[in-house]
């Protein structure tokens, strides 16, 4: 985990590796940049800690981690701490106390810091106007934007734009380019292969090491592409109909590729395991893959219960062709937006899917359309999987697959075909769920390594 060093005599905080050499007695450490800012420190102009990726609350209780994910998804852009607490079934006072005890900040302070840091990156990297930067970063008004930037960085947005370095600016043909920083290593081949194996035809593609997909923003179509950028960052190029809310697009992409993940605790816990130890050493930097759309990967998991992957791809292609929104003029096989839950709940899938499968998909879509919290990741793992398996036709392995992609660290789809293949290759014939008890609470990380080892193209 990144530890930020703050110098009490200068009022500045730095990231690890900064060239500043303060006296040890003058240094305080913080796990979060937001925590240092809440204590009154400002970001160093030399090492620019706002450009560093880092996990938020990885070691905190599950409820705090769930709250952080909801904040990252925008729960406090227009909502309140009281509404967030109600969503998590706790009082706002208790939620603030948990955040203070485990993160050193309030939920509002964390949200403000994330927005300000993202805006600072846009001011550095892009040529967006100051107004576009404000709304792209989730601020509700220019007045709020100016106030918070001065509070966090002690300078106005215009002053910060004038300070950017020549090498910061990124240019992309027809799109907005952004760096997605990560703490090395990151196994790009493992991530891109995992996503490529599960790419929805017409919606996603992985070609020549570049991941591309269509996205929907308030009903308008856009395209994102992600590729390896350097030793410490991926490169995102976004083609969007408007820039408002860009921060959430970037956050969702970041979660897909695990750029903020802190894998050190899981690696330390599993490095001596007789099964996982060799896999970790063979593929350093493997991250648990996330998902762009929770409903999309849930449908894929549901179909995977009954069919091998080639047939699942054919079914997904037919589903997208029949119910997805066409997006003309794109390249690399991208043709449609994935249909929404509301659309699939009422779609005529006769001839698209087998009758029983079509009924299950429509029923699942109707449940998601009726309850927007079903797939939002706000529940505990046990509550989440129980809610999914209560739906007709959705089994435990599929629920665990969905949970893994949505960021539940202890999710483990033990009946996954690739996981079973890898365990058999290691002469393990016992029940994989029982074996995985020793891998708690890092079973999603363990499952990802087992899946990576079972795909020939990932051989390191």
The catalytic residue positions are 14, 416
**Terminal-to-terminal C-alpha distance of the chain:** 26
Are the C-beta atoms of 148 and 115 separated by less than 8 Å?
A: yes
Q: Residue 411: which of 401, 422, 423 has the closest Cα? A: 401
The answer for residues whose C-beta is within 8 angstroms of residue 82's C-beta and 6 or more apart is 92
Peptide bond into 185 cis (omega under 30): yes
Q: What is the DSSP letter of 263?
A: -
Q: Is 86 exposed, middle or buried (0-12, 13-18, 19+ CB in 10 A)?
A: middle
Are the C-beta atoms of 384 and 399 separated by less than 8 Å?
A: yes
Query: What CA–CA distance (Å, rounded) separates 126 from 133?
Result: 9
Supply 23's token pair. 């006296």
Query: What CA–CA distance (Å, rounded) separates 124 from 165?
Result: 7
Helix ranges restricted to H, 305-374: 309-323, 341-345, 355-370
Q: Is 295 exposed, middle or buried (0-12, 13-18, 19+ CB in 10 A)?
A: buried
- 218 φψ region: left (φ > 0), alpha (ψ -120 to 50), beta (else): left
Instruction: For strands 12-14 and 42-43, give the pairing.
Output: parallel
């Amino acid at each position: 985990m990144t530890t930020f060093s703050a110098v009490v005599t200068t009022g500045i905080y730095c990231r690890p590796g900064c060239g500043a050499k303060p006296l040890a007695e003058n240094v305080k450490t913080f796990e979060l940049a937001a925590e240092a800012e809440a204590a009154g420190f400002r970001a160093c102009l030399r090492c620019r800690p706002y450009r560093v990726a880092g996990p938020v609350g990885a070691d905190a209780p599950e409820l705090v981690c769930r709250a952080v994910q909801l904040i990252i998804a925008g729960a406090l852009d227009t909502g309140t701490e009281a509404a967030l607490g109600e969503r998590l079934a706790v009082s706002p006072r208790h939620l603030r106390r948990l955040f203070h005890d485990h993160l050193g900040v309030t939920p509002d302070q964390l949200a403000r810091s994330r927005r300000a840091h993202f805006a600072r990156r846009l001011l550095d990297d892009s040529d967006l106007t100051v107004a576009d930067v404000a709304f792209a970063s989730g601020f509700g008004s220019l007045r709020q934007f100016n106030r918070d930037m001065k509070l966090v960085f002690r300078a106005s947005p215009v002053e910060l734009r004038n300070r950017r370095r020549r090498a910061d600016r990124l240019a992309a043909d027809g799109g907005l380019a952004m760096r997605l920083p990560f703490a090395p290593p990151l196994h790009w081949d493992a991530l891109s292969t995992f996503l490529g194996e599960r790419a929805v035809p017409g919606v996603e593609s992985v070609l020549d090491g570049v991941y591309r997909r269509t996205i929907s923003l308030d009903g308008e179509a856009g395209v994102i592409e992600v590729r390896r950028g350097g030793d410490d960052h991926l490169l995102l190029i976004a083609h969007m109909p408007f820039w408002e809310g860009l921060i959430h697009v970037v956050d969702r992409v970041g979660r897909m590729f695990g750029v903020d993940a802190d894998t050190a605790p899981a690696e330390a816990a599993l490095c001596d395991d007789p099964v996982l130890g060799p896999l970790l050493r063979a593929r350093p930097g493997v991250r648990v893959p996330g998902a762009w759309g929770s409903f999309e990967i849930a449908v894929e998991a549901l179909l995977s219960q009954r069919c091998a992957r080639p047939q699942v791809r054919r079914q997904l292609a037919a589903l997208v062709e029949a119910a997805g929104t066409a997006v003309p003029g794109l390249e690399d096989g991208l043709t449609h937006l994935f249909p929404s839950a509301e659309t699939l709940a009422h779609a005529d899938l006769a001839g698209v899917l087998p009758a029983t499968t079509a009924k299950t998909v429509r029923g699942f879509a109707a449940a998601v359309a009726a309850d927007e919290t079903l797939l939002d990741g706000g529940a505990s793992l046990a509550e989440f999987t129980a809610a999914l398996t209560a739906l007709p036709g959705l089994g435990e392995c599929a629920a665990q697959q969905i949970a893994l992609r949505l960021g539940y660290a202890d999710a483990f789809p033990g009946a996954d075909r690739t996981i079973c293949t890898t365990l058999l290759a290691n002469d393990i014939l016992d029940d994989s769920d029982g074996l995985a008890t020793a891998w708690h609470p890092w079973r999603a990380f363990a499952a990802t390594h087992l899946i990576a080892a079972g795909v020939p193209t990932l051989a390191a």
